Structures are given as C-alpha cells and as structure tokens.
Structure 1
Amino acid sequence: MKLDWDRRHCARRGHITYAPDEAHLRERLRAETALGEVWRCLRCGDFALGPPHGSGPADRAPEVPRGRALRDLFILRFLAVERLLRGVFIVIAAWAVWRFSNSQDSVRRFFEENLTVFRPVFRHFHYDLEHSPVVDTIRRTFEYKHSTLLIVAGALLAYAVIEIVEAVGLWAAKRWAEYLTVVATAAFLPLEVWELTEKVSYLKIGTLVLNLLAVLYILLSKRLFGLRGGHAAFEAERRGASLLEVEEAAGAPQGTGGHHVTRTLVTGSSRTDTV
C-alpha cells in the first residue's frame, strides 16, 4: 500500500486552504454543503469545512509542500535531527577534552589507581591488562601536551558548530544548508574511509553509508551545483507541485512550440496530464 504523504501530513497538522481573488479559481476551490462552505486543501486536495486560512492573489498563495516535496522535507528533517544529535555529542566530547587538558595529572593518577584495583580481576581471567590496546591508547593520551589538547578541543567544537548549523538549516529546508551539508559531509568521507582501513566496525560502516546516501540524495534531488537543470529547474518543479497552480493551468491551458498541455483536476480524482 502506497503511503499518501499529503493526507498523512494533513491528518497530523491540519489542512491549508486559500481563497484566491481570481473568480474562476475561487469557484474551483470552494463549494457549498449542508454544513456550510468548504474549501479545497492546497496540500491533499480534500475539502475542509470552514472559512479559508488566507486569501489574496493567486501568485501570493502559500507554497505548500506536497507529494514528493513533502517526502523530501521529511528526509531533510531526519538528517537535521541526526546532525543535531551528532553536534551535541561532539560538543560534549570537546568539553571532556578541555576538562582533561586542565587536569591531566589528576586524571592520570585516578586512572592508574583504579587500574591497580582491577589488575587481580583481569589476571584471574588470564587477560594481560598492562598490554591491552585500550589501556595503551589511554596512556598515550596522557603524553599529549596541554596546547595540543586545546587545539583538539577547539577543532571538535568548530566541527560541532558546523553540524548544528547544518541541522538548523536543513530543518528549515534552506538551500544554503543543503550546499553546506554536501560540502562538509563530502570533505570528511576520505577520513571515514581511512578509518575503515584501520579498523572495521558496524558503526563506522553505517556512518559512511548514511553520509554517502545523504550526499547523493541532496545533490540529485535538490539539483545542486547545476545538476539536473540546477536551481531554476528545482524552483520550477517546486512551484509546479502547487495545487493552486495546477488549478490555474486547468483554467488557462497554454501551448508552446506545438506541445499542448491540459491538466484536468476533478474533485476526488487524481490529476491527469495529456501531452
């Protein structure tokens, strides 16, 4: 069963209706019932009881995401949440590195004291704790200079800010955020591939696949960097998805270069295109 994004969204957020000043369009979007006037929703096409939410010229009608545009918005917001969570986690990591840089000696003593407590336990299971890769890695961090740790903390914080800015922009469906996401994510892909050559894990593989899919999806669906017609084609596609514009096209069909396009929209039926 195919998911109807338009009706699903309207069921959760409510319908969006609009009364255009143009009489022929107003008549197509309005009807009278025994319960009162009803107006056609710009998103799902169903009629909603009550006065319209707005009115004015047809070209001032709100651009309502519907169909593919609504699905794209859902995916962008999923990516926004993922970026936000990642940004918050990196902020915490940056704070931890900064705190560690200011109390390196005390943390070293705390670690060695607790390691002594656990030595008999690991010895019982025949595990060489002294030569454990995890322990060796932690001990190497104690050798880092204070200035080096501050640089690491600053770099982590800068990366976190980029992730959070991406999240805010993607949630609002801003085009600059789409460019930023593609550029920033693609810049870190070689590093993620290199990390996989060092050690393979399901988390690293999942992160790499998610980032690759995000870059390809945004590049192609949003027509960035001139792909698939670029920004002009993207805007034309978005505007063409407006139900009000479909109604206007149905009232005033146009022909260009011998190609006649007629779009008929009937209450309760789907759109049909004849070329």
Structure 2
Amino acid sequence: MDWALRSCSWHGHETYAPDEPELRDRLCVDTAVGESWRCLRCGNFVPGPASGSGPADHAPEVPRGRLLRDRIVMRALAVERLLRALVLFAGAFVIIRFRDDRGSIRGRVDAELPLLRPLADQIGWNIDDSKAVQWLDKAFVLSETTLMWIAVAVTVYGLSQVIEAVGLWAMKRWGEYFAVVATSAFLPLEIYELTERVTVLRVGLLAINLAAVVWLIWSKRLFGVRGGAAAYHAEHSAESLLTVERAAVSGAR
C-alpha cells in the first residue's frame, strides 16, 4: 500500500514554494494547464499554485515513506489506548456505584441466585465456583474505603492511558517515552494474571502491549537504542523531500 497517496487522498496534497530559486525550480514545472508543484508527501506534481511559500527551513514537516507509516501505526495505538481508558473509567464508575448501593445489590443477588441454580445444574455449570460469583462475594466484604481506593486506582490508570493517547497521537517524543514506561510497568501484572488463568483477552492485551513496547523502542530509537535521539532526528530529516532536493542542488554545484 502507498501510504503517502492514501494520506493525500484523505488530507489533500502538501505543496510548498521555497524562496531559494534553485530549489524552487526543482519543485515546480510548467505544464499545459499552468504551473504544477511537487507534493512534499507523495512526490507527485499537482497542478495549481503551491499551498504555502517561504524559506525552505520554514516549510511544514510532512512525514513520508516509513515515517508516514509509523505515524499511522502510532495513531492506531493512540486510539487503542483511548478506548482502554474509556473502559477503565466505566469500570471506576461501576465500582463507585457498587460501593454506594452495595446493600441493595446484595439483596438482589441473594434473591436471584437461587433461581439460577436449577438452570446451572441442567447445563453442568457449578455456579458457586463461578469467577463472577466469587468476585462478588469478595467485593461484598471489602470496606467502603477500600472500594473507593480501588476506584481511584482504576481512574488513575485510565488517566495514564489518556496521556499516552495524547502523546502518541501528537507524535511527541515524551509521549513515546511515557508510553513505553507506563506500558512496561503493567507487564508483570499481566504476565501474573496469565499464570492464574489463560484467556484470549488477556493473551491479546499482553501481545499488544509487548509489541507496542518493542516497536516503540526499536523504531523510535528510545533509550539510546540504534543511535538514540540524534540518529532518530537525522533519519527523520533524511526522509524529508525538501532535504533530498536540497542535497541534490548542493551536489549539482
């Protein structure tokens, strides 16, 4: 898939007219329909005037090639983190409501659980060994203070997911570091949960988080990996179409 063309189809072409004459000549051609400028993202010539102009150093930063693909992956991770945050906030809300209405919930469970036993016996399900029932029994004996602290912890975790989502969506380097540190901090807990019980959801979440950590560290050169920040910014600059054309102009002199 040509990610550059797909991005241009969504957001339009990104053209720029630099003040430097030699660089300007390399990015502009005269056609039967008038001047055409080379898109800084996909590299194709687009009829019509440039969407921006000025010194080449002031041109907008337009990701292309592998950097554009990386941006799409990072924004997909940002969406996943935001969805996870919404689930966590919903969980915190449920815990608070449970804390406030624990007495009435207990009464409904005690009244309706016996009605489910005949059906559970017919399908061979030991309802007393159900994880949901066991969790409810444990929750009923927790104090209101403990439940409140659990809700606060879940909310804080959700906020950390929102911060990750914002940093990854905005393509900020601090967001990449924050995502790696925050995600790695919960990997031991996710691995421990798998030792208790293996489920598709737990395996899937662990796989996503492991892949995200490894991919961010390797592709973004975090923590000094593959040359660190200096190599990352050099690679980022080398992908710029203006940088390539500027080098061509310098080499032609």
Shorter-chain TM-score category?
over 0.9
What letter matches 2:6 in structure 1? Answer: R
What letter matches 1:179 in structure 2? Answer: Y
> Which residue of 2 is the match for residue 14 of structure 1?
12
Q: CA deviation at 1:143?
A: 0.5
Equivalent of residue 219 in structure 1, options 210, 217, 221: 217
- 1:250/1:132 Cα in 2 relative to 1: closer, same or farther (>3 Å)? closer
- 1:202/1:128 Cα in 2 relative to 1: closer, same or farther (>3 Å)? closer
CA RMSD of aligned residues (A): 1.4
CA distance in 2, matches of 1:132, 1:61: 61
CA distance in 2, matches of 1:146, 1:116: 27
Q: Deviations over 1:96-116 (max 9, x none)?
A: 001111111111111111112
What letter matches 2:143 in structure 1? Answer: K
CA distance in 2, matches of 1:220, 1:122: 50
CA distance in 2, matches of 1:216, 1:133: 33
CA distance in 2, matches of 1:9, 1:133: 46
CA distance in 2, matches of 1:131, 1:19: 70
Counting helix residues as a fraction of each chain, which structure ranks higher?
A: 2
> Which residue of 2 is the match for residue 252 of structure 1?
250
- 1:120 aligned counterpart, secondary structure: helix
> Which residue of 1 is the match for residue 63 of structure 2?
65
* Counterparts of residues 176-215 of structure 1 (less than 5 Å): 176-215=174-213
> Which residue of 1 is the match for residue 134 of structure 2?
136
Aligned residues: 252
Matched-pair contact (CA < 8 Å) for 1:25–1:248 = yes
CA distance in 2, matches of 1:127, 1:246: 67
CA distance in 2, matches of 1:169, 1:131: 43
What letter matches 1:111 in structure 2? Answer: V
Q: CA deviation at 1:127?
A: 4.0
CA distance in 2, matches of 1:128, 1:53: 68
Equivalent of residue 102 in structure 1, options 88, 93, 100: 100
> Which residue of 1 is the match for residue 78 of structure 2?
80
> Which residue of 2 is the match for residue 120 of structure 1?
118
- 1:153 aligned counterpart, secondary structure: helix
CA distance in 1, matches of 2:191, 2:20: 57
Q: Deviations over 1:76-126 (max 9, x none)?
A: 001000000000000000010011111111111111111122233224445
What letter matches 1:162 in structure 2? Answer: S
What letter matches 2:135 in structure 1? Answer: T
What letter matches 1:157 in structure 2? Answer: T
CA distance in 2, matches of 1:128, 1:65: 57
What letter matches 2:218 in structure 1? Answer: L
Q: CA deviation at 1:185?
A: 0.4
What letter matches 2:145 in structure 1? Answer: S
> Which residue of 2 is the match for residue 93 of structure 1?
91
> Which residue of 2 is the match for residue 164 of structure 1?
162
Matched-pair contact (CA < 8 Å) for 1:87–1:164 = yes
CA distance in 2, matches of 1:242, 1:131: 60
Residue 3 of structure 2 is aligned to residue 5 of structure 1: yes
> Which residue of 1 is the match for residue 237 of structure 2?
239
Matched-pair contact (CA < 8 Å) for 1:6–1:70 = yes
Please list every run of 5 or more consecutive structure 2 residues that lacks an aligned counterpart in the other structure: none
Matched-pair contact (CA < 8 Å) for 1:39–1:52 = yes
CA distance in 1, matches of 2:6, 2:233: 24
Q: CA deviation at 1:248?
A: 0.6
Equivalent of residue 36 in structure 1, options 22, 34, 37: 34
* Counterparts of residues 40-51 of structure 1 (less than 5 Å): 40-51=38-49
TM normalised by structure 2 equals 0.96
CA distance in 2, matches of 1:204, 1:127: 23
Percent identity (aligned): 50
TM normalised by structure 1 equals 0.88
- 1:249/1:152 Cα in 2 relative to 1: closer, same or farther (>3 Å)? same
What letter matches 1:185 in structure 2? Answer: T
